[in-house]
Copies of this chain bind each other. A is one copy, B any other.
Amino acid sequence: MENFLQSSLAAFKILQQTAPEIKAKLLNDIADAIDENKAAILSTASSESNLPEPRLEVERGRTCFQLRMMSAEIVNGNWLRKVVDVAIPDRTPFPKPEIRKMHVGIGPILVFGASNFPLAYSTIGGDSVSALAAGCPVIYKVHPSHPKTSHLINDLIQSAVKKNDLPEGTFIHYEAKDFDEVKQLVQHPIVKGVGFTGSYKGGMAIYKYAQERREPIPVFCEMGSVNPVMLLPEALKAKAEQWATNYCGSITNSVGQFCTNPGMLLAIKGPELDQFISSLTEQINKITAAPMLSQSIYDNYEHRKKEVLSQSNVTVVSDNITGQGTCGTPTIAKVEASDFINNSLLHEEVFGPFSIVVACDDEAQLAQAYDVLEGQLTTSIICESDDYALATSLMEKAMHKSGRVVFNGIPTGVEVTTAMVHGGPFPSSTDSRFTAVGIEAINRWTRPVSIQNCPLDLMPNALL
């Protein structure tokens, strides 16, 4: 471990002095190699994750898109966030010096991939690519759910590193033996940042290891959330069927194994909600259950689902029975808001194709049911124009509880774009000031440095 960490540190020093064009070419070369090795990557990832190849092909496209987007960002240099304050030599009482500012990488970054994204949030996923864009070497802890896929991708990365004459410590691919090794990595002085995507339990374990360090470092854990959806009265009246169809798709897509899966639907009681529930359950019942990512994810789904369903006054409204083996059976449950509000066990995520409908007496109770939730990656508001008064007050709450507020849409499908925030108030992430998706994901791994009164001959190229 000490050897590869030292080589990572050595690589950091070199990468911080490497021309942007070369760092950009590295990412493009990796993307090209992933394109060229598409067939092998898809079949390997599919066999390890149970995800069908068409779904993985979308994810592969996203992975290459992220690599090329970050590559372009390295060259345009926006991420450096340069500022130049001109000197004012005759200012009184003291002259003002010239000060320029840019951002630099913080050091080697330890990345933990996600089981549900073997490509886009694993080996060369969002965390790794954003770190490399900042000139930070990556120490990637291989995810045990898809080691073969990871090795395949790592081979392509290592070839691209060699081809561009970059140091071998640029990307370290490491299979940790046990939690003790993970702890050693998180606590090692050479590691200057941690990126994690996964469960609350896993994220908080990493976070607590980091807290025992002498030197505090940024630890960005994206730990999922319930992603509540508020279906407002007029929208239910006008389009119950349409939203039932959209939400059935969002809940069951990839066996519900997305961090932004809508696990909770809040609405006001009445015949419209009854109609929505019957449309939704009818469609949920038609979905053929598919195998989940792993035995442990299946076990956890079954455990959490049973736990929620055993709470008082929680009823199952779907009767889908297509699941066998490790297939995750899509399930819709229902509970009265009064029971929901006082039972915090119902406020937490059930990772898988599960959603609970919270039936509220009125607008006030709907707001109250939303208020008891903790921080979320997303909140969705489904509304028609006659709902806007209610929507406005709920939106004010949602902006302070979530990383993203979605109107009249589904929360799954996280766009890789500059305006995206994938993260959110705790417990959806450990630092709501950053995003794991989009260009600004780089900001997690950079810090500003001011350069005062620097002779032009010594000025870093980026600041000239």
**Chain A contact residues, CB within 8 Å of chain B:** 16-17, 58, 83-85, 93-94, 96-97, 99-101, 104, 106-107, 207, 211, 215-216, 218, 383, 385, 388, 391-392, 395-396, 399-400, 402-409, 413, 415, 417-421, 425-427, 430-433, 435, 440, 443, 446-455, 457-458, 460
Contact = CB atoms under 8 A, between A and B. Distances in A.
Contact of A402 (B218, B435, B449, B460): B449
Contacts of A106: 432-433
A208 to B, nearest CB: 9
B453 A409 contact: yes
Contacts of A446: 433
A185 B392 CA distance: 32
Given A83-B418, A405-B451, A421-B449, 19 more contacts: A84-B419, A85-B419, A85-B420, A99-B404, A101-B421, A104-B400, A216-B426, A216-B431, A383-B455, A388-B457, A399-B449, A399-B451, A402-B449, A404-B450, A404-B451, A405-B450, A406-B452, A407-B453, A433-B448
Given A85-B417, A415-B99, A420-B99, A433 B447 contact: yes
A418 B85 CA distance: 7
B407 A454 contact: yes
Nearest to A207: B216
Nearest to A449: B399
B395 A458 contact: yes
Contact of A455 (B101, B218, B407, B432): B407
A405 B96 contact: no
A99 to B, nearest CB: 4
Given A58-B93, A409-B453, A420-B99, A415 B85 contact: yes
A18 to B, nearest CB: 12
B421 A448 contact: yes
A264 B100 CA distance: 24
A421 B450 contact: yes
Nearest to A435: B448
A448 B426 CA distance: 14
Contacts of A216: 207, 426, 430-431
A346 B30 CA distance: 47
A181 to B, nearest CB: 23
A418 B447 CA distance: 15
Contacts of A85: 415, 417-420
21 contacts: A58-B93, A83-B419, A85-B418, A94-B413, A97-B409, A97-B415, A99-B420, A101-B418, A106-B432, A216-B431, A385-B455, A385-B457, A388-B455, A388-B458, A391-B458, A395-B454, A405-B454, A407-B453, A408-B455, A421-B449, A435-B448
Contacts of A451: 399, 404-405, 407
A407 B454 CA distance: 5
Contacts of A16: 396, 400
A177 to B, nearest CB: 28
A450 B17 CA distance: 34
Contacts of A104: 399-400
A349 to B, nearest CB: 17
A297 to B, nearest CB: 25
Q: Which of A84, A391, A402, A455 has the most CB of B within 10 A?
A: A455
A453 B406 contact: yes
A104 B425 CA distance: 12
A408 B87 CA distance: 14
A17 B396 contact: yes
Contacts of A93: 58
Nearest to A82: B419
Contact of A450 (B94, B403, B449, B460): B403
A401 to B, nearest CB: 10
B99 A403 contact: no
Contacts of A408: 453, 455
Contacts of A406: 452-453
Contact of A407 (B383, B399, B458): B458
A101 B400 CA distance: 13
A407 B408 CA distance: 55
B404 A452 contact: yes
A109 to B, nearest CB: 13
